[in-house]
Amino acid sequence: MSSLSVQTSIGNIKRKLDAFQSEEPTEKRQKIQLRAKSLHSDTSKTKKPVNTQQKAVVITSFEEYFGVKNIDIPELKDHEVLVENKFVGLNPIDWKGLKYKFGVYSFPWIQGRESAGVVSKVGSKVKGFKEGEEVFIASTAYRDIRTSTFQRYTVVDSELLWKLPTNITLEQGSALGVGLVTASSVLEEINGIVKDSEEDSKARSKKTVLVWGASSGVGSYVLQLLRVYGYGKIIAVASEKHRSHLLKLGATHCIDRFLSDEDLSKEVSKISDTGIDIGVDVVGKETSDKVIDLLNSSESKESKVFVGVVSKPSKDKDLDNILVRDVLIKRFHENKTYGSKLVEHTTDLLTKGKLYPQTNFKRYKGFEGIINGLRDLEKFGASNEKYVVEL
Ligand SMILES: NC(=O)c1ccc[n+]([C@@H]2O[C@H](COP(=O)([O-])OP(=O)(O)OC[C@H]3O[C@@H](n4cnc5c(N)ncnc54)[C@H](OP(=O)(O)O)[C@@H]3O)[C@@H](O)[C@H]2O)c1
């Protein structure tokens, strides 16, 4: 029933009630009163109070593209914080999930793995956060739709939430989470991000690491963390146009990604006589295989390590002398001791200016902006830049 016809019916019933209040038998009067009451509750159903509903970008089926809808604000548990998102960062996984039908667990579904905003509400057992504080989010709990960021409000475990350092803007903060967690996982696979003894740091200073896809969002944080941890030679494989930027971030050398395999291998030999000890790939299968070939041709005496952010090497590759590692970003929320240390440690690095956020942005506005941004990210990709949306 429309709101207007509900109001008209209430008016009619009220008039009837007034007219025969005194003479009508009690049963009939009660019936009319009940009908009036139910119509009143109908009006409250048609218009939900504003503070229980929010805007979100949702997937309603695998056959339709993203759309903007009003849905309920997620419910908060005792140890969680409700964050009002002001900016969100877009990632390839957001459109890939819909296109290739993965990571969507029910309909309507919400994507979005990072954002920055302000604390709107805190659970009863939360310590250390208060309403109005600026924060940023990395959401790795893919299956819990409450933690997705393409909605006005996102729920976050209070132990896994970053306070926004004062030297970082909300826009920059919105594009930090996924890159930081993924790059930290790469470092964890290489050496363990939380270990930092003198012996470890001496060993690290002798190692040569190659990062294929260093100009990607994830790659840029891998480079920075390698520098923070004192790795000796850090080789970025990327387009020439990104060279000066990557050298500033921490690469000690840069090799053009478009060189032939033979020329690229020669460039590596010029940088390190013995070749590389550690190889990281942030692009895909073909480039993972190239990194494996470089590791196999290396004369490194130490155990060689390969970390694939996107893909495992092909099955026909010789992996006998190489430790092959995947990236497990879900460790961030599944192992809270690890996750909260990561938050603490990276907050310290950001605050001290040892880690820099991305500042090269492709900007969009509003919830429709998320949809337009996702279309563009799929069509044009990112070139040493981050797609962000102001909500
Ligand atoms: N495993 C996980 O949990 C996890 C987590 C996060 C991300 N990922 C995945 O990691 C990948 C990177 O994500 P992102 O958001 O960091 O990517 P991104 O920023 O969109 O990456 C774009 C960059 O990659 C560079 N690139 C493209 N092809 C290359 C090639 N063949 N060789 C070297 N560089 C190349 C581009 O360089 P040009 O400018 O020269 O074109 C561009 O700067 C994505 O596939 C993403 O889905 C996985």
Ligand 1 atom closest to the Cα of residue 309 is 1
Strands 80-89 and 386-390 come out as antiparallel
Mutate to test the pocket of ligand 1, among 94, 211, 215, 333 (most ligand atoms within 8 A of CB): 215
Phi, psi of 157 (to 5 degrees): -65, 130
Residue 87 in domain: yes
**What pLDDT does 327 receive?**
93
124 and 244 inside one domain: no
The answer on 144 and 122 residing in a single domain is yes
Instruction: Give yes or no for residue 208 CB within 6 A of ligand 1.
Output: no
Of all protein residues, the one whose alpha carbon is nearest to atom 5 of ligand 1 is 182
Please name which of 255, 257, 268, 259 lies closest in space to residue 296, comparing C-alpha atoms: 268
Strands (E), 180-331: 208-212, 233-238, 253-256, 278-281, 304-308, 322-326
What DSSP character marks residue 191? T
- Rg over alpha carbons for the chain, rounded to the nearest Å, is 27
Q: pTM, whole model, 2 decimals?
A: 0.87
Closest ligand 1 atom to Cα of 214? 34
Q: Is residue 348 part of a domain?
A: no
59 part of a folded domain: yes
Query: Which of 102, 216, 256, 290 gets mutated to test ligand 1 (max ligand atoms within 8 A of its CB)?
Result: 216
State the DSSP string of 14-58: HHHHHHHTTTS-HHHHHHHHHHHHHHHHHHHHHS--GGGEEEEEE
- Domain total in the chain: 3
Same domain, 171 and 218: no
Whether residue 326 is found in the same domain as residue 189: yes
- The reply to whether 62 and 201 lie within a common domain is no
User: Which sign does the torsion angle of CA 334, 343, 176, 203 carry?
Assistant: negative
Residue 344 within any structural domain of the chain: no
Domain assignment of residue 345, yes or no? no
How confident is the prediction along the chain (391 residues), in pLDDT tens digits per residue? 444 444 444 444 444 444 434 334 444 444 444 344 433 434 334 444 447 999 999 999 999 999 999 999 999 999 999 999 999 999 999 999 999 999 999 999 999 999 999 999 999 999 999 999 999 999 999 999 999 999 999 999 999 999 999 999 999 999 999 999 999 999 999 976 545 666 778 888 999 999 999 999 999 999 999 999 999 999 999 999 999 999 999 999 999 999 999 999 999 999 999 999 999 999 999 999 999 999 999 988 778 999 999 999 999 999 999 999 999 899 999 999 999 999 999 999 999 999 999 999 999 999 999 999 999 999 999 999 999 999 9
Residue 23 shares a structural domain with residue 141? no
* CATH code of the domain covering residue 218: 3.40.50.720
Residues 209, 323: one domain?
yes
CATH code where residue 111 lies:
3.90.180.10
User: Do 165 and 195 share a domain, yes or no?
Assistant: no
How does DSSP assign 127-152, residue by residue? -S--TT-EEEEE---TT-GGG-SSBS
Residue 384 near ligand 1, beta carbon < 6 Å: yes
Is residue 277 included in any domain, yes or no? yes
386's CB contacts (< 8 A; 6+ apart) are: 89, 90, 175, 217, 358, 360, 361, 362
Distance 217 CA to ligand 1 centre (A): 7
Whether 10 and 119 map to the same domain: the answer is no
One domain, residues 61 and 122: yes
State the residue range of the domain holding 59. 53-176+357-390
pLDDT score recorded for residue 197: 66
Same domain? For 171 and 240 the reply is no
Residue 352 included in any domain: no
